[in-house]
Chain A
Amino acid sequence: MAGEEIRSLTTPLSDADIESLRAGDRVRLSGVILTGRDAAHKRLIDLLDAGQTLPVDVRGQVIYYVGPSPPRPGMVIGSAGPTTGGRMDSYAPKLMALGLKGMIGKGARSLPVREAMQKYKCVYFGAVGGAGALLSRYIKSAEIIAYEELGTEAIRRLVVEDFPVIVVNDAQGNDLYEEGRKQYAQE
């Protein structure tokens, strides 16, 4: 696992950015990121399967798996922590093939997704699940750009500043969850 140093990265992410990251690296992300979870992913992949173009360009982008709570008046967004990434496993490789460079979620990804991350150069960042109130502070603007009727599951364009994440799966095949567990297991 990597040291205590915290990396700062700004989106869009390049292949060089991705190749420099290792599982366990703590990263502060700034710039534009997209949101999308179950329902939006299903729609995107249905479009791809039908040979149509997507309403968003995912090249170089990071998708944050989040369904925020509604903002109070005057606020940018409500609570906005990650949802379980594994539910997007069946969709993610197709987006990586289009140039998606990062995903933010929590929880383990399947082997096919981790293999696709190596093939297409993509990383999976973990954000702290259940820390939605705290994480919302790093989100500076939020705007719905597709599927407004999906409510919390709509695709949003967020501008984030120093959003705290940790690299769970890198493009070399390492997995923070496996390494972390091995280090502390006493079985």
Chain B
Amino acid sequence: MNASEPLLSVDRLRVEFATRNGIARVIDDVSFDLRAGETLGIVGESGCGKSMTALAIMGLVPDPPGRVAGGAIRLLGEDLTRADERRMSRIRGKEISMIFQEPMSSLNPVYTVGDQIGETVRLHEGLGKRAARERAIDMLKAVGIPAPQRRVDEYPHQMSGGMRQRVMIAMALACRPKVLIADEPTTALDVTVQAQIFDLLRDLKEQTGTAIILITHDMGAIAELAERVVVMYAGRKVEDAPVDEMLGNPSHPYTRGLIACVPHLEPDPPLERQPLTEIPGVVPSLAELGKGGCPFVPRCGFAHDRCRAEMPPPFDVRGRHHASCWLLDPRAAA
């Protein structure tokens, strides 16, 4: 594979949900590429469509009421939106796998963790019972679980939250997938355990070359793990950039607000504390999505008439940094 060729390419993806008030566009015209071995962060508030994007890639959009209404998701050129369920079930867990926010509810409480890790490899690689168990032990060792020989026969409830998330990661990586989607992988965990999981994901990526899509609301996690960032708002991509560029030069008013509204931990805090920057209002509801104009207008301090009338296209900021905001229109600047 050519290094410049994307491993996974999401191209003008559109996901719609049928609601009582008509069709709601929960993902609208979202595009991004993921290269082999890269970590891409997707950030936004709840309801911005970041988890739905992940579900669309996995072919897990609940249908009905939802459906992928347009665009393509290409894994090495193969359009997953056209793949049938049989094909998708061969891809899920083998080529693309996912770890979820809540490790307790995503593990089956009545099977041992060894059975659950083994199931993936038995299904996708046709391994026998004994070989699957060996692989499960290897995976538990790889994710840093002590005494894997013993732990492999334990049930999820016998483990701590951090350990369960390690099991989830072991399960997701058992078949050496090309893409790992991590949906808020550390939100339910304590900060010292979160740091361990970050280190683990980084090490595993270096060893296996798995590309990671990290979905989070935490800019700190993004700074820690991601190389490139996509910021989503109301089902649309509003900004994307390499991580240092995004944190150092955020250009969309929403991204700026998202970075400024969080009290950052300072090693040397100032004596005087300023009030935090607020993003007024709340995210628009489903029914308000897909109308004309920029969806951020009601919460934006810089909105003008054009923002209300027309959806801003992505403008180049510099290099690989783009933001969809009329303020960045080079023609309007004059």
Question: Do A and B interact?
Answer: no
